[in-house]
Every structure is written in C-alpha cells, then in structure tokens.
Amino acid sequence: MKILIINPPFVPGFCRTQRWPARTRGRALRPPDWLAYCASVLEKEGHEAKLFDFPAENLGREDLRKLIEREKPRVVVLDSTTPSISSDLQCAQICKALSDCHVIMTGTHASVFPEEILNHQGLGVDLIARREYEYTIRDVVRELAKPNGDFGKVSGISFRRNGDIIHNPDRDLIENLDELPFPAWHHLNLKNYFDATKRYPFIDIIGSRGCPHACVFCLWPQVMHGRKQRRRSIENILLEIDRDLKQWPEIRSGEFFFEDDCFTLDQDYVKKFCEALRSTGWGITWSANCRPDFANYSLLKKMREAGCRMLMVGYESGNPRMLKAMKKNSNLEQNSEFTRLAKKAGLKIHGCFLLGFPGENYESIQDTLSFALKLPIDTVQFSAAVPYPGTEFYRICRELELRLPDRWEDWLDSGEQSAVVGYPGLARESISRFVDIGLAKFYLRPGTILRTVLDIKSFSDLSRKSRGAINLFSYLLKT
C-alpha cells in the first residue's frame, strides 16, 4: 500500500518537532523523529511508505498539491501542532480533494482535540491516531487492506462512522521500545537540520520515552508519552548508532543528541551506557537533555570521558516561588551545584529558562534573568511559557479564566514563538520582550562573545556558530 507520511508545510522555518512548536529565535530545525519511526514501522510491514518534511525543504502547499497529484497515495499521515492546526487542516483538505486517500492526523493537538478536528468544516481528516501512534497507524492500515476492515478493533483512534464520532479506548504505550525499528532517516537529508547549540550535522536518538516528574508545562509526557519512563536497552541504542555511522559517516564530525525527556533519570543506566559506548572505540560526540537536580561528579566525569559534549538543562526559573508553582521539584542551590560540577567535569551547558508562568511578576522575571547570567553556562534559551492544550498549565489557565488567544493560529506571532497569556500587571507583550532582553543580555556580553570565539575548534564550528549568531541577531534587530 502506498502511504505518504508528511510533516506538512506552514510558515518558513517552522520547527514542528520540538517541545514548543514555533519558528525559534535561533532558527533551529529538528528532524521529524516520530514520523520517521512511523515510516520505519510501515516499511517493516512491507508497505511503500515515503516520508516528506516540507519545512526542512522549504516547500509550501502548492508543492503538497503536486506531490499528492503525482503519488496518488492510498493513505496520508499528517502531523499536527496547536499553532499550526488551521494550516494542518487545510493540508488535509488538499490531500482529500486530490486523491481518494484516507487521511490520518497525529500529534499533540490531534490527541487532545480529536472531536474538534473530525468535526472541522471540510472534513479533510478521516481518523485521528492519538498519543504514541506507530503501532496504531500500522493497525489502521491493516484494517484498510481488508475487504471488510473494522476500525472498531483498533485502539487509540478516533474516527467517523455513519455521521457519528467514535473514540476507541486508548492504546497502551509501547512497553518494549527495542521492538521498534530504527527511524527511517533514509527518507530525509539530515544536513537540512540545524541547531546552533549542536554540532553540525546532528542526529537525534530517543533512548527512552516518558518522564515521572510533574512539571506542569511539559507537553510530551502529559500528552504523548506518559509519566512512566520506558528505556531502550543499551545494546539496542548502540546498534542504532552503528547503523547511523554507516549510513551518515559525516556524523563523526557532528554529534548525536539524546532527545529523551530526561536522559540522566537512572544514573546507574547512564553509567553502564557510558562504559558500553567507550568500549566500542567509536569516539563519537553526543549531548543530551538533563535535569539539574543531581550532584554526581563521578557520573558527569564518566559521561564526558564517553564523549558527552553538552547537557541541555531545564533550570526554568531563578525564583524559588516560581519553581514550586511549576512543580519543577528542584531548587536554586541544587541547580548551582550541579552546574559547578558539570563544568568541572568539562561539559558544556545549554540552560533553558521559562518566563511567564502564572504568578510571575517583574521581580521574579528579574530573578530568573539574574540567575541565568550568573551561572557559568555556555549557551542559553529563554522561552515564553506556553500553556499547550493537554497540560496542567493549560488547565490552570482555564481555571483562572485567563485570556487565551481566540484562534489557534494566534498562538504564534507570524510564526515566531511568543507569549500567549498575560496576567494582571504583566502583559503578554512584556513577557515576550523580557525573553528578547534576556537573550540580548546573555549573548552580547563581551565575555560570552570572547568565549564563543575561543571555543571554535574547526571550520565546521566556525560555520555553525556564525550561522547561529546571524540567525539570532537578525531576529533581535527586527524586534
């Protein structure tokens, strides 16, 4: 069966596959790893599955029309996000109008609002695959292949039947992640993806799914992957790295990035992984997401010795009251000590901070900016806190009757990430302005500029950092 799996077009540079979908200030673009897993599962089933990433190729809706007319697929899988959903639905209508295909929508927004999407004027979407969807779509396709296939047998979907909308029970999350085939990167040009904080080119690795922590703003654990962390075996991860090195040898000059919700959650597992990775002799570079609430210098040193270059750390705030409100379950003393030990171990640190959570005021924002500027971190990311549907943050905003945009497309400012909720005494526009102020204060410091220049080790480093600086400063000059 011919199946097209599509990261649909939206505004230029839109990064649909990150935790806050937007055109980022640094113009980062990540590969669609969930869709790549879906493609590999369907290929394993023997289907003619093709994966297309329209934002990465800078393609638009007219290109989508041409693709559908040329390929005439039986099934089209489209990803969705909250700020792009209106455009995503228009893409679904294009697919439906040009081919007698079955349109399946996946992703965070579709998982939260399946009924709203299925009731949308134009009826471009036939079925929603909620939450983790690789096996869900596989089972839907199996039913489509039967003369009298029955969607009622497929868990994890919402669909229309005789004018009614049916919501089948949720599908159990995938317990044994080793069963999944590796992502179908062969459909994509990984050189299209760029993030100034990562060496170029980079490849994502997802070593686990789910996170037991209760951060109220975090989208993926609450909507897609659940609170229980499910880890792949170390052997399975090493097999994927070996496959990637053979398929993309240029990654040796770039890096692997572990896009787990929290790579360091099980410290014994991380220790064993580092030992196993060192024993391969590959000498690769890698980075990972991390929480700042563990002070284990021995482990941090072992990670560095195994090739870890950078940790992307969710500090979130420099104000104790805001950390408590976010249910971050960390404190400033822990965060400072972790940073000291990580730097002592020789690791780079990319610090992530959120501004504009309920209860935020000018004083707490200044606390966060001051804390970020005092930490000995290498790069920084300030973001406006966005209450995505399906999160506790969204529920809090509704309970407090806070004003949210009337239309989903207004959750971005012409594609740029921006604040979507304001508070008494702290307007939306002020939150977005403080994000820009924080970035400017951090990156325009003479010490930061000098350190960045002195840290250039190769022409690839120079190219990556120059591109990142141009992207960021071009944005700041427009604001």
Longest dimension (CA), the chain: 69
pLDDT, residue 401, reads 93
Judging by DSSP bridges, how do beta strands 348-355 and 75-78 pair with one another?
unpaired
- DSSP-derived secondary structure for 216-280: TT-HHIIIII-SS-EEPPHHHHHHHHHHHHHH-GGGGGSEEEE--S-TTSSHHHHHHHHHHHHHH
Phi and psi at 348, nearest 5°, equal: -80, 150
* CA–CA distance, 365 with 436 (Å, rounded to integer): 12
pLDDT, residue 133, reads 98
Query: 21 is written with which tokens?
Result: 């979908």
pLDDT, residue 341, reads 98
Judging by DSSP bridges, how do beta strands 230-231 and 208-209 pair with one another?
antiparallel
Degrees (nearest 5) of the Cα angle 414, 417, 419? 105
Do 47 and 1 form a contact (C-beta atoms < 8 A)? yes
Which residues, in sequence order, are CB contacts of 184 under 8 Å at separation 6+? 36, 37, 39, 40, 43, 49, 51
Q: Is 51 helix (H, G, I), strand (E, B) or coil?
A: strand
Of 13-27, 46-60, 366-380, 454-468, the one with minimum mean pLDDT is 454-468
Average pLDDT over every residue of 57-70 = 97
Average pLDDT over every residue of 79-107 = 95
Average pLDDT over every residue of 48-73 = 97
Q: Is 202 helix (H, G, I), strand (E, B) or coil?
A: strand
Other Cβ atoms within 10 Å of 346 Cβ, number: 13
pLDDT over threshold 60, residue 145: yes
* CA–CA distance, 149 with 144 (Å, rounded to integer): 6
The residue among 174 and 473 whose pLDDT is bigger is 174
Q: Is 442 helix (H, G, I), strand (E, B) or coil?
A: helix
Which residues, in sequence order, are CB contacts of 227 under 8 Å at separation 6+? 210, 211, 212, 214, 221
pLDDT over threshold 60, residue 479: no
pLDDT over threshold 70, residue 160: yes
Which pLDDT band holds residue 25 (cuts at 50, 70, 90)?
Answer: confident
Do 415 and 23 form a contact (C-beta atoms < 8 A)? yes
pLDDT, residue 4, reads 98
Which pLDDT band holds residue 174 (cuts at 50, 70, 90)?
Answer: very high
pTM: 0.94
* CA–CA distance, 262 with 314 (Å, rounded to integer): 10
Q: How far is CA 310 from CA 173, 279, 307, 336, 458, in A?
A: 30, 21, 9, 17, 17
Do 152 and 160 form a contact (C-beta atoms < 8 A)? no
Average pLDDT over every residue of 385-392 = 95
DSSP letter (8 states) at residue 346: T
pLDDT, residue 477, reads 62
Query: 469 is written with which tokens?
Result: 């600086």
Residue of 151, 147, 146, 148 whose CA lies nearest to 171: 151
Share of the chain above pLDDT 90, in %: 82
Average pLDDT over every residue of 165-169 = 96
pLDDT over threshold 80, residue 455: no
Which pLDDT band holds residue 459 (cuts at 50, 70, 90)?
Answer: low
Query: 70 is written with which tokens?
Result: 């040329």
* CA–CA distance, 407 with 83 (Å, rounded to integer): 9
Q: How far is CA 365 from CA 203, 385, 475, in A?
A: 34, 12, 21
Which pLDDT band holds residue 414 (cuts at 50, 70, 90)?
Answer: low
* CA–CA distance, 220 with 226 (Å, rounded to integer): 8
With tokens 């999944």, the residue in question is 180
Phi and psi at 36, nearest 5°, equal: -65, -35
Share of the chain above pLDDT 70, in %: 95
Do 232 and 177 form a contact (C-beta atoms < 8 A)? yes
Mean pLDDT, all residues of the chain: 93
Domains annotated on the chain, with CATH: 2-167 (3.40.50.2300), 197-443 (3.20.20.70)
Which pLDDT band holds residue 412 (cuts at 50, 70, 90)?
Answer: confident
pLDDT in tens, 296-341: 999 999 999 999 999 999 999 999 999 999 999 999 999 999 999 9
Omega before 55 within 30 of 0, i.e. cis: no
pLDDT, residue 446, reads 81
pLDDT, residue 454, reads 65
Of 116-125, 311-320, 381-390, the one with minimum mean pLDDT is 116-125
Q: Is 208 helix (H, G, I), strand (E, B) or coil?
A: strand
pLDDT, residue 473, reads 62
Which pLDDT band holds residue 457 (cuts at 50, 70, 90)?
Answer: confident
- Per the DSSP assignment, residues forming a β-bridge with 349 are 311
Residues in the chain: 479
* CA–CA distance, 383 with 369 (Å, rounded to integer): 12
pLDDT over threshold 70, residue 123: yes
Average pLDDT over every residue of 208-233 = 96
Which pLDDT band holds residue 469 (cuts at 50, 70, 90)?
Answer: low
